């Protein structure tokens, strides 16, 4: 199942790049899957991790496409990781924070932590190299708003504090945004 998901995600994200870079986008979902695999051996969760951005970022992929290829559980996990792009950045991020704090299952939190840890790792590396120029890559260019979001996620991930990935996430948020 996982191998098929890697192929599916690679095709779905073909031609996409990480924001402000020439790095093929598929590197991100592969890193997320690797992080999730360090926290669980559940193949459906690892599969959902590699697919986590396809509904959000690939307009040619439908929920039904994922359902047909990977089943209900994987589809539900992927859907939980997807934002409604018709909403503003602040609305989407606020909804994500609230979802993780109040509604998300532990499994959904693990996948979300994998995603956000991969993002903050990339941000920390790039911030060290290019400083505040980093924020120009994003739809939300205000560093304080990015800090609000990444700090806000910590409470949603608190249930996962036994994982080193949680501690790494918290450390990198402090490194990038300060206390």
The residue behind tokens 């501690």 is: 167
pLDDT of residue 55: 92
The residue behind tokens 């840890």 is: 117
Q: Say which CATH topology domain 2-80 has.
A: Hypothetical protein af1432 (1.10.3210)
Coil vs helix vs strand at 24: strand
Domain ranges, ordered by start, for the chain:
2-80, 89-177
Q: Active-site residue among 3, 4, 53, 57?
A: 57
**Nearest residue to 110 (alpha-carbon basis) of 89, 81, 134, 84:** 81
pLDDT of residue 86: 86
User: Would residue 65 show up in a list of annotated catalytic residues for this protein?
Assistant: no
Per-residue pLDDT in tens (0 to 9) along the chain, 179 residues: 999 999 999 999 999 998 878 899 999 999 999 999 999 999 999 999 999 999 988 889 999 999 999 999 999 999 999 888 889 999 999 999 999 999 999 999 999 999 999 999 999 999 999 999 999 989 899 999 999 999 999 999 999 999 999 999 999 999 999 87
The residue behind tokens 């559940």 is: 42
Check: pTM over 0.85? Answer yes or no.
Answer: yes
d(Cα 22, Cα 85) in Å, to the nearest integer?
Answer: 23
User: Would residue 56 show up in a list of annotated catalytic residues for this protein?
Assistant: yes
Q: Active-site residue among 4, 42, 56, 158?
A: 56
**Nearest residue to 66 (alpha-carbon basis) of 83, 49, 74:** 74
Q: Are 55 and 78 in contact (CB under 8 A)?
A: yes
pLDDT of residue 139: 86
d(Cα 9, Cα 96) in Å, to the nearest integer?
Answer: 23
């Amino acid at each position: 199942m996982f191998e098929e998901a890697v192929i599916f995600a690679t095709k779905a994200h073909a031609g996409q790049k990480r924001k402000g870079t020439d790095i093929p986008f598929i590197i991100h979902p592969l890193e997320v899957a690797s992080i999730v695999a360090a926290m669980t051996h559940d193949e459906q969760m690892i599969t959902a991790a590699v697919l986590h951005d396809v509904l959000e970022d690939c307009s040619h992929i439908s929920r039904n496409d994922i359902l047909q290829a990977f089943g209900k559980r994987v589809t539900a996990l992927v859907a939980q990781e997807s934002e409604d792009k018709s909403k503003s950045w602040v609305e989407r991020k606020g909804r994500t924070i609230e979802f993780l704090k109040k509604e998300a299952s532990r499994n959904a939190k693990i996948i979300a932590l994998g995603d956000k840890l991969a993002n903050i790792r990339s941000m920390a590396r790039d911030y060290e190299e290019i400083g505040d120029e980093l924020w120009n890559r994003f739809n939300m260019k205000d560093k304080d708003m990015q800090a609000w979001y990444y700090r806000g996620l910590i409470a949603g991930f608190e249930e996962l504090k036994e994982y080193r990935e949680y501690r790494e996430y918290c450390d990198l948020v402090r490194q990038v945004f300060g206390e």
